Each structure stands twice: as structure tokens, then as C-alpha cells.
Structure 1
């Protein structure tokens, strides 16, 4: 009798077990996302974020986020800021920041930079271009932004 009950329990646990829910899937990479201005006072500011997998050293793959932004206002026009930074984050979980470097173009620089060491999943990641002060480390207001879920 015990064997029958045990067999029925095992059979029932396999057949009638609750379906496991699938975690939110990561964004399919490689992909890119437009970074749009958050303020209408700089309508020509625009950027792009490129997201893809890299393996630069022995070990596991990492996610790389690079940003290319142009027609940005001068950082100093917002106060005590001297550069822009890329800022990516999963709300209430983790954030990453990396400097964007200007190119020496005549009519204003193109700001670009990248981070190649992300190991976290990409669900609900926000990507932004923000003002920054290199000496104090102070991170300023958002200039460009988009959600990684719009990455195509």
C-alpha cells in the first residue's frame, strides 16, 4: 500500500506540478536604442546606445553599452559641470556610469564612451547621458534618455 501511495505521489508531482514561470527575458542583443532629449530646450541633441556581448578577456561574456551623443549643450551652461557621462541602471538594483569623451570637431564635439563589463541581465535598464563634474564626481541632470526595452 505504501508503494502505491508513494508511486501516486511521485506521478502526481510530475504530471500535476505547477508550471514554472519564466523570468523576464533579456533584451535580444546586439541592438541599438535612440537616446532622446528629456528637455525641449535642446531639440537637436540626440544619441544612440549600442548594446552587445563581448569577450575581451578569458572568461564569460560581458555586455557592452556604448553611447554616441551629439549636438549637446556645453556642460558648463548648466553650472558646475565639465563633461557628460553615460549612466545605465536597473531601478533599485544596480547602476553603471562611465565617462563620455569629446571629439575635437569644429562645430561642437561628439561625445562617446563605453562600458564593457556588465554581467547583470538587461531587464528594465534605463540608459542616459548625464552632466558630470570630473573633479567632484557629482552627477548632474539627465540630458538624453531611453529604456533598453526599446532597443532594436
Structure 2
């Protein structure tokens, strides 16, 4: 009987563990993700993403990502940029961009926006706040970032 318990535990780990062969774990939704500054010298820059399934039409549910970012420098402080965008991507597969809108606050705006029509599995994706130039359509480097695998 004593030998059966460790065998049972090993079988449970092998057959019931929530990871696939690559060790990937799909995030449990809804979940929140803290977006940290890419440049560690900007300690006040922070953001948060809310990720969850949303059913807005009669079709199947989609994934919604919303981002709220605060204490960012002006986009023009980084170069020829005039706005920020939310950016989510799965390396070498697909990416999504969505505009972040500033609020009219005294000490600098809060930048926020969302996208509601993602159909892909996001288990290997990354979320970022990136600089953008609305006139040229060019997206710049990431300011805030994190991996969805850390979403909880």
C-alpha cells in the first residue's frame, strides 16, 4: 500500500498537470498583468492589463485586452512619436496593435485603450505599451512590457 501512494502521485502529475509538452500554461481568465518598465531607470512608469473572454456578438467569445498605463513621459520625449499603443504578440506568428488614449489629468495623462477581437490562444504572448507615430503609422520601441504567462 505504501508503494501505491507515490505511484499514484506520479501518475496524477503526468496525466493531470495543466501544462503541455512544451511546459506552456494557458492563463486562467480573467487575469491581470502588471506591465513593468523596459528601461529600469523609469521607476514610476507602470501599467496593468486586464485579459478576459468577452462575448459581444452571436459568434464565439473573443479575448479582450485592455491596458491602463500611468506616469509615462511625453511620447515626444523619446523622439518622433506622438502617442502610445498597446501591442500584443506571439513571436514569429501574429501581433495586434491598438491605440491608447490620454486622459486630461493635471500631472500627465493616464493612457488607456482596448482590443476586443482576439481569437488566438495567447499562452505564449507578450503585452507591451509601445511608442507610436500616428502620422506615419510607425510603431516604436516598448516602454512597458510583460509576458502573459505571468498573468494571474
Task: Name the TM tier (shorter chain).
Answer: 0.7 to 0.9
Deviation track 1:107-142 (CA, whole Å, cap 9, x = no partner) reads 000000000000000111100000000110100111
How far apart, in 2, do the equivalents of 1:40 and 1:59 lie? Answer: 42
Per the normalisation by structure 1, the TM-score is 0.84
The CA distance in 2 between the partners of 1:103 and 1:126, in whole Å, is 25
Distance in 1, Cα, partners of 2:42 & 2:109 = 15
Q: Following superposition of structure 1 onto structure 2, how do residues 106-145 of structure 1 map, counting pairs within 5 Å?
A: 106-145=106-145
- Larger gyration radius, structure 1 or structure 2: 1
| Cα deviation 1:82-126 (Å, max 9, x = unaligned) | 000000000011000000000000100000000000000011110
8 Å contact from structure 1 (residues 131, 142) kept in 2: yes
Instruction: Tell me the SS of whatever aligns to 2:76.
Output: helix
Q: Is residue 86–residue 100 contact of structure 1 (8 Å, CA) maintained in 2? A: yes
Q: SS at the partner of 1:57? A: coil
Q: Deviations over 1:17-74 (max 9, x none)?
A: xx9x957442110000000001023210000010000011111000000000000010
After superposition, residues 42-57 of structure 1 pair within 5 angstroms as 42-57=42-57
Counterpart residue number, 1:94: 94
Which stretches in structure 1 are left out of the alignment for 5+ residues? 1-18
Please list every run of at least 4 consecutive aligned residues from structure 1 whose deviation after the TM superposition is greater than 6 angstroms: none
Q: 1:59 to 1:37 in 2, by over 3 A?
A: same
